[in-house]
Structure 1
Amino acid sequence: MRTSISIPSTPSSTARAKLPRVFSGASPAAPRWPNIRKPGDDWGNIFGIMSYLVLARKYRPRTFADVVGQDHVVKTLANALDSQRLHHAYLFTGTRGVGKTTLARILAACFNCETGVTSTPCGVCSACRGIADGNFMDLLEVDAASRTGVDDTRDMLTSAEFLPAQGRHKVFLIDEVHMLTGHSFNALLKTLEEPPEHVKFLLATTEAKKIPVTVLSRCLQFNLKNMRPEVIESQLDKILTTEGIAAEASALPVIARAARGSMRDALSITDQAIAHGAGAIATESVNDMLGIAGRDEVGVLLDALAARDGERLLAAGDELCDRSLDLGGILEDLQRAFHDLAVAVELGTSVQPPFERFGRAFSAEDLQLYYQIALLGSRDLEFAPDPKIGFDMTLIRLASFEPATSDHDIQPPKESRDSEPPKAREQASEQQAAPAEAVPGKPDEVDGDWHEIVAQVTPEAGVNAMILGHSNLLRRSEDHWTVRVDREHQSLLNDKRCEEIGSALSGYAGQTLRIDFEVGELSVESPAARRARLESQAREEAKAVLMDDANVRTLLSEFDGRLESAELLADQESPSTDTAASASDTGNAP
């Protein structure tokens, strides 16, 4: 028995009500179904969903001409392609986001472009579009981080024996190739050395040192460089201009430095900055987003450092910490500022804003010291019990090592940026060291033994003892003394040290003294040199006494030994200072 059922061409109203309304705009009478997806279609557009292509993908280079910052690699590859000198294995190394995979895909397009093997693929043929869209059958991208086993490698090599399905060459792009196991590398060696004519291997890695040398020797290796901030900044400016997005000029260098040589990171940060700034990029917004200090905040630290105000320096550091800024980044910004100032001081060039007001605030020696302190503080920050503690200790070290007086007076920074540089004062302060040429002959002898005075006013080791230990007392009147310090130790002199030494000498004299300091060559023996001479004499005398001992001579003779050194014990009395001084000292005694 045959039964026939008739179905109306138009569903009834009851049936229409039961139809699913999945798609926006669907009519109960005629539900709208999407068309079959064609290659290149975007599912988001088909379903009416807004889709956004991130800048790093939207502006990924499609030709060698679009690649920036890697001219040394592009030039080599282009010349090899134009001369048809094609290798079978290429290795691209470098940090993340510098263009390793991008260059590999461009090279794959050069191999398979329908116009022929060329350094300028057309970009419109099916092979070029397929490679750009990621659906080209003869470009097999392998993530070595997830397919590390030897079985995966053998399957890949088995497929290499088959001819290409679409293009001229079958290209294997192995990303993070250093993640392959040792057995996988061994399985790859033979095919990598003598692959079929239609096969090309493109390898990419961030850890070239982890790849066996047997693999490296079979590849042409291209080391991609970290991009300079200027290159990244220029590329960002072009992209933002194309996108029609407003950006402050001072914000782009901040993004370029934060990217640390990676163009992909720079574009990702730019995407984030656009979202953070509601469609625009402002410097303050970028600093807040990245948690870094602006140049003005760094200027506050430099102001306090130039003014020798440790309390204000720590207070400024506390304010930056309260804002939860990146403390390591702040120390790096200080390093950049010290570098720029040091270059300006050394070459005599102008300082770039906003630090031009510090052009005369620091000497070249001080900047070298400050840079080293900031560098070591940044390095040791991770070892501190707390980042705040490490940051504070770095600022304390910066404040403790006060700048040395130099051949010209150093003025504190001016608040106004357009004011003229400060002029040196006509007369040096009484407590500040001034350079002086060595006085020929013997200086004026003064009353009292300078060596004895130094020993009494600086009984303990310290910076003041070091300064006076390398000095001479040139002249002395009732209330006015002149002290000369050798040039090698002039960096230790500053207003605070001079004041402390003046107070100590005044206490020794029992009255207030005016102490003038000069810097020059010492014409007579300093207390430190005298002390070293006496210690050397004591050691030689002790050695002579030891060699005269019969037991020591017997020991050396029996074992064919020799006496290399002799040291005085701490509780052993050294030769009398007064006796040694009277025998060999021609110092500053009257």
Structure 2
Amino acid sequence: MSYLALARKWRPKKFNDIVGQEHVVQALTNALNSEKMHHAYLFSGTRGIGKTTIARILAKAFNCQEGMSADICEKCENCLGVDEGRFVDLIEVDAASKTKVDDTRELLDNVQFAPTTSEYKIYLIDEVHMLSKHSFNALLKTLEEPPPHVRFFLATTDPQKLPITVLSRCLQFNLKRISPKLILERIKFICNEEKIKFEDIALAKIARAADGSLRDALSLLDQSIAYSASNLTDTNITSMLGSVDKKYIHQIMISIVNNDASELIKTIDNIGQYFPNYENLLIDLAEIFQRLAILNLTQEPFENNQFEYDLSEYDNSFDSEEIQLNYQIALMGRRDLDLAPSHKVGFEMCLLRMIAFKPHSSDETDKKDQTIKSKENVFEKDPKSTVNVDSTEKNNKKTSSFKDSISIKSEKIIWSELVDELDINGATKTLADNCSFDRKEGDTFYIILDKKSSSYYSKERESNLSQALSNFFKKTIVIKINAGDVKRETPNQEKIREKNEKRDEAILGLQIDPKIKEIENAFSGASLDSDSIKLKNEKIE
């Protein structure tokens, strides 16, 4: 007897055998038992998750000789005919090979004829999104109002390509990817039934490699049986899948824990001898950090048969911040692999980032804080400290030099400094800040108010400013304020200019900062947002 592939041999034949699509099975079961069936069904989802299989089982349920029911007898001629692919009233069409409108018209010409041996004639159109626009247009009317004896089952991996007019005429079921746990349980059951020796960790690797597709898992299982002579060990499956031995992943994690870049490079060189898939390695590392994050926050370990790596050696070696950072670096590293000179170089740089961007430990921070405090204590204990003396002398010199340099007899008045020395506040201070000094004639000051700020002027504020100047110079001072274009900077304009100069200097300093450059290179497309930079003590809006 010829060998039958496991994916075909163990294809589900009734609804109870369907794995991981309970939401679809429940809806169809309830509809069948209540005999409230739609005339057109659309099954969508990725490959190998049961679209065509569910459609065939549904075809058996419609035409079972025991009557329409979710409990298929599997003994009648109609049920057996569907299983063996010889049921004449189930017309399966591969839309990928029959895309032309003439093919669709030929198909629809036979719709009017009654079924041969059963109650319903069922058209199962696989990969329906491959039909041409004209084919869809030809199908629309029949799909909306088919003859009573006709049912349409459509299957597609890309429902976005279907016209909305087709989607609106069908009852749509979105099939989901099957979890590795359910795939593992299914292939374990099959291995036991087929009397194949296996290790749990080996089957777990197959379940993960299947990427949510049970058919892919069974195809990999077939390949594994042939490769390992029906002895599915961890070593055999790792070799067949082209995976890297988990000891190398362990060595990488230890190198990251110890900040040992040289040992990390050696490990990557050793891995390179096996020509691995570096993207899969980053997926493994990302999964490790994801599980470390959950373990760090919940303290609940994972089941060993669902995860092949032992986290016990480094579950306390990373804090939450570093785990999150390394997880993000692994994800970004996957995205940037194709941009690197080679995948090995991209993988290497990604892991070096995990060491380079390692957050400072609390011990290191405490040591820095203690060093700063010790320096502050030295200055406090030593009143003759050079720093304190210099800063005090500098402030004293600034104050005394300004008071010595300015008097009522001075021809050169620095208005911004004079305003800061006056005993004024509120609206009077605002008025002074928006004025510039023009000239002085005897005891009279001529001041120009910026015309853009003319609304700040009032007789009362002018009088308050005149009184403040008189108190400062200990002599009666008269001021004349006229609104107009200022020739010199007002104190307010001077403050704005100095602030902008400091901000531009800060932005330039950050743009050339090596650490900022490293971050921009590490995260492709990232750039410094100059609008977000605020000076110290500046109000954040």
Partner of 1:114: 65
CA RMSD of aligned residues (A): 3.3
Partner of 2:237: 286
User: In 2, distance between residues paired with 1:122 and 1:301?
Assistant: 56
User: Which residue identity lines up with residue 272 of structure 2 in the other structure?
Assistant: C
Matched-pair contact (CA < 8 Å) for 1:229–1:261: yes
User: In 2, distance between residues paired with 1:55 and 1:390?
Assistant: 39
Q: Does residue 1:381 correspond to 2:337, yes or no?
A: yes
1:318 to 269, 273, 280: 269
- Counting only pairs closer than 5 Å after superposition, residues 15-414 of structure 1 correspond to structure 2 as 45=1, 51-350=2-301, 354-406=310-362
Give the percent of matched residue pairs that are identical in Structure 1 and Structure 2.
43
Cα deviation digits, residues 36-87 of structure 1 (max 9, x gap): xxxxxxxxx4xxxxx2111100000000011111011001001100000010
User: In 1, distance between residues paired with 2:504 and 2:343?
Assistant: 47
Cα drift, residue 384 of structure 1: 2.0
User: In 2, distance between residues paired with 1:348 and 1:170?
Assistant: 57
Matched-pair contact (CA < 8 Å) for 2:178–2:212: yes
Cα deviation digits, residues 502-559 of structure 1 (max 9, x gap): xxxxxxxxxxxxxxxxxxxxxxxxxxxxxxxxxxxxxxx99999x9878999999xxx
Distance 1:83 1:159, change over 3 A: same
User: In 1, distance between residues paired with 2:259 and 2:280?
Assistant: 23
User: In 2, distance between residues paired with 1:75 and 1:312?
Assistant: 54
Distance 1:549 1:283, change over 3 A: farther
Cα deviation digits, residues 466-499 of structure 1 (max 9, x gap): xxxxxxxxxxxxxxxxxxxxxxxxxxxxxxxxxx
Distance 1:570 1:117, change over 3 A: same
- Counting only pairs closer than 5 Å after superposition, residues 437-452 of structure 1 correspond to structure 2 as 446=380, 447=385, 449=387
User: In 2, distance between residues paired with 1:102 and 1:434?
Assistant: 66
User: In 2, distance between residues paired with 1:149 and 1:449?
Assistant: 88
User: In 2, distance between residues paired with 1:101 and 1:357?
Assistant: 46
Cα drift, residue 571 of structure 1: 13
Q: Normalization by structure 1: what TM-score? A: 0.64
Distance 1:433 1:94, change over 3 A: farther
Secondary structure, counterpart of 1:172 in structure 2: strand
Cα drift, residue 120 of structure 1: 1.5
Matched-pair contact (CA < 8 Å) for 2:136–2:166: yes
User: In 1, distance between residues paired with 2:66 and 2:250?
Assistant: 58
Distance 1:432 1:303, change over 3 A: farther
Cα drift, residue 314 of structure 1: 1.6
Cα deviation digits, residues 150-176 of structure 1 (max 9, x gap): 111111111111100122110000001
Cα drift, residue 356 of structure 1: 1.0
Distance 1:542 1:123, change over 3 A: farther
User: In 2, distance between residues paired with 1:252 and 1:573?
Assistant: 60
Q: Which runs of 4+ in 1 moved over 3 A?
A: 350-353, 431-436, 442-450, 541-545, 547-556, 565-574
Distance 1:307 1:550, change over 3 A: same
Distance 1:197 1:570, change over 3 A: same
Matched-pair contact (CA < 8 Å) for 1:350–1:356: no
User: In 2, distance between residues paired with 1:549 and 1:57?
Assistant: 88
Matched-pair contact (CA < 8 Å) for 2:450–2:485: no
Partner of 2:521: none
User: Which residue identity lines up with residue 383 of structure 1 in the other structure?
Assistant: L
Distance 1:312 1:162, change over 3 A: same
Distance 1:323 1:78, change over 3 A: same
Tell me which moved more, 67-76 or 315-324. 315-324
Secondary structure, counterpart of 1:358 in structure 2: coil
Secondary structure, counterpart of 2:92 in structure 1: strand
Distance 1:221 1:572, change over 3 A: closer
User: In 1, distance between residues paired with 2:65 and 2:505?
Assistant: 95
Matched-pair contact (CA < 8 Å) for 2:434–2:450: no
User: Which residue identity lines up with residue 170 of structure 1 in the other structure?
Assistant: K
User: In 1, distance between residues paired with 2:5 and 2:115?
Assistant: 32
User: In 2, distance between residues paired with 1:572 and 1:119?
Assistant: 74
The answer for unaligned runs of 5 or more in structure 1 is 1-44, 46-50, 407-427, 454-540, 557-562, 575-584, 586-590
Cα drift, residue 568 of structure 1: 3.9
Cα drift, residue 88 of structure 1: 0.3
Matched-pair contact (CA < 8 Å) for 2:78–2:87: yes
Distance 1:190 1:571, change over 3 A: closer
Secondary structure, counterpart of 1:142 in structure 2: strand
How many matched pairs?
405
Distance 1:174 1:337, change over 3 A: same
User: Which residue identity lines up with residue 286 of structure 1 in the other structure?
Assistant: I
Cα deviation digits, residues 214-272 of structure 1 (max 9, x gap): 11111110010101110000001000000000011111111111111000000011111
